[in-house]
Structure 1
């Protein structure tokens, strides 16, 4: 019999991870591609990205798309625009050549990976931010409305707050702290007002969403160096993420003395204490029974796990 595989695709605003596993869940091949945020790269760009990534992981094991038993594509912004839904749902078919797949928001990958598919909540703070949880077959999400007016606590949000602080330090509304010099040096600015050229673009277009989000690392560095305003940004980020989590808890019906398994994923959490410390503090004030656990596996492996779960569910339905 020909080998069969599960494919997990964890999309994001900065990178997209592809994972191919066997039926036992053993990782056989991985591949990393660029951002799969269709609002940024377009539908054609997404098609090309997915085709390239799927081809890359299959090539490593000498397989074809026909060998994929089931796949799950976790895509950023999926489910947030009805007019785009039809296009997003059929792009994987063009890549795989069959219907053995499902699409969903990339928040599902984070949840499935961090909690191993168990009931509970996962909070994502990467380029954007979003929370997702499941309990007794009920699902709920919170946040994730996009960087223009939401995505609180995300890398993009932290970067924007940092740029705001930089501007205030530049014109004297705030005293200059470490953040000011870090931005001046790392962005190679001759004058602080040159940051406008960096953000708004010298040729009619500025940096992409993920490039702006990358500036959150400068805010984190300033925080480590004792910048008071940078610390306030991370404190507020923890507060905003806590609000998202607690709204999901209420939607899922966790009440009273019931423990709520909670995990996390996304690049902002690489700062560990910078974000986890305020997050824990605000969570304990909202609900004392959160149980914060280290992620069990990566979101990309979580996507493959979810694909296997969906395959099993569909098999039972067809019997």
Structure 2
């Protein structure tokens, strides 16, 4: 069987896939974003998750033919990369495994390991693609000076807009009362204490405010809607940057998909995303993801073992 692990800033998903393409077990654990939970926190999430899916399937660790761990930040810091890889190896206790950034599982799931680009906009934002054996990425620089278009970026922009509405620097809109309700504010200024206390501005907590921004935009808040329009444009630029990095010939149509919680806002993000792609002048086949990132991670593990699933098997997986 093949084990796929899709790590993230909010949750980490685990899935066992049989050689016949059947899902044997699933599990969901906590964050595997080590800057927030620490290396030991990542190690615990991976160990617990692997044990949980094996217990569900009633199988030993030795039954894993290959495992792929897609982990946030992997490949970005030479000091922590080997430590994260060691944590993954310890979780599967000697079984064959490989590691990569969590963007890889998103790509593999959305396009079933076929050539094309996938933009991931969850807690953070990143894009990855493969074309004729080449791979390229863009984004994923982190919340301090990057992650444009991500849930964290949208949440941070939304909190900034709230402060301006509260001050009277911009006209008030639905976002004002929605943020007040979300944080149960007696006074608007009390938000400072909630956010500026230790842990109050945690990456995942700020990212969740993106849902409030989307709700405000849905309620007719033009300023909140402008944040989502800008997010769509930023995410389109990630796709175009990866296309350039892959060396795709001008005029060739390329498959493009998207994953992550930001896109659950639907047309509020997808419409400006598609419009920005069209304005960029490149040809894309924009389509929803075929499979989830954790299934993609399992497919990637199978590919590492020399196994490719048929189109029929992929279609069956997509229907479940």
Report the TM-score, using the length of structure 2 for normalisation: 0.94
- Supply the distance in 1 between the matched residues of 2:111 and 2:281 (Cα, whole angstroms): 19
Name the counterpart of 1:132. 128
> What is the rounded CA distance, in whole Å, between the counterparts of 1:187 and 1:289 in structure 2?
43
Structure 1: gaps (5+ residues):
314-319
Query: Does structure 1 residue 163 correspond to structure 2 residue 159?
Result: yes
Q: Equivalent residue for 2:8?
A: 12
Of 137, 144, 149, the residue aligned with 2:140 is: 144
Looking at structure 2, the residues matched to 85 and 77 of structure 1 have their Cα atoms a distance apart, in angstroms, of 8
| Residue 106 (str. 1) matches residue 102 (str. 2) | yes
Structure 2 residue matching 1:182: 3-state secondary structure: helix
Question: How far did 1:208 drift?
Answer: 2.0
| Alpha-carbon distance, 1:181 to partner | 0.7
**Superposition misfits of 4+ residues, deviation over 3 angstroms:** none
Offset from partner CA, 1:12-49 (integer Å, 9 cap, x none): 00001000010122111000001110111111111110
**2-side partners of 1:64 and 1:271: how far apart?**
40
Distance in 2, matches of 1:184 and 1:293, equals 37
Instruction: Give the corresponding residue for 1:206.
Output: 200
For the aligned residue pairs, the C-alpha RMSD in angstroms reads 1.0
Q: Superposed, which structure 2 residues align to 1:64-75 within 5 Å?
A: 64-75=60-71
| Aligned partner (choices 180, 186, 190) of residue 190 of structure 1 | 186
Q: For the residues of structure 2 that align with 1:301 and 1:287, how far apart are their CA atoms?
A: 32
SS of equivalent residue, structure 2 residue 149: coil
For structure 2, which runs of at least 5 residues remain unmatched after alignment?
A: 308-320
Match of 1:215 among 209, 213, 235: 209
Q: 3-state DSSP class of the match of 2:189?
A: helix
1:79 aligned residue: 75
Match in the other structure for 2:54: 58
Q: In the alignment, which residue of structure 2 is the partner of 1:312? A: 306
Q: What is the distance in 1 between the residues matched to 2:175 and 2:294?
A: 34
Match of 2:20 in 1: 24
Identify the range of structure 1 (85-94 vs 301-310) with the bigger mean alpha-carbon deviation: 85-94
Instruction: Write the distance in 2 (CA, Å) between the matches of 1:122 and 1:297.
Output: 12
> Higher mean Cα deviation, 250-259 or 66-75?
250-259
Determine whether 1:231 maps to 2:231: no
Q: Which residue is 1:259 aligned to? A: 253
Q: Equivalent residue of 1:312, what SS?
A: coil
Deviation at 1:256, TM superposition (A): 2.2
Offset at 1:99? 4.8
TM-score in terms of structure 1 length: 0.95
Superposed displacement of residue 207, structure 1: 4.1
Matched, 1:43 2:39: yes
Partner of 2:284: 290
In 2: Cα distance, 1:287 partner to 1:88 partner:
39
Per-residue deviation, residues 62-117 of structure 1 (Å, max 9, x unmatched)? 11111100000000011111111110111122111115000000000000000010
Structure 1 distance, partners of 2:76, 2:95, is 22
Aligned position for 2:112 = 116
- Determine the structure 2 residue equivalent to 1:179: 175
Secondary structure of the structure 2 residue equivalent to 1:215:
helix
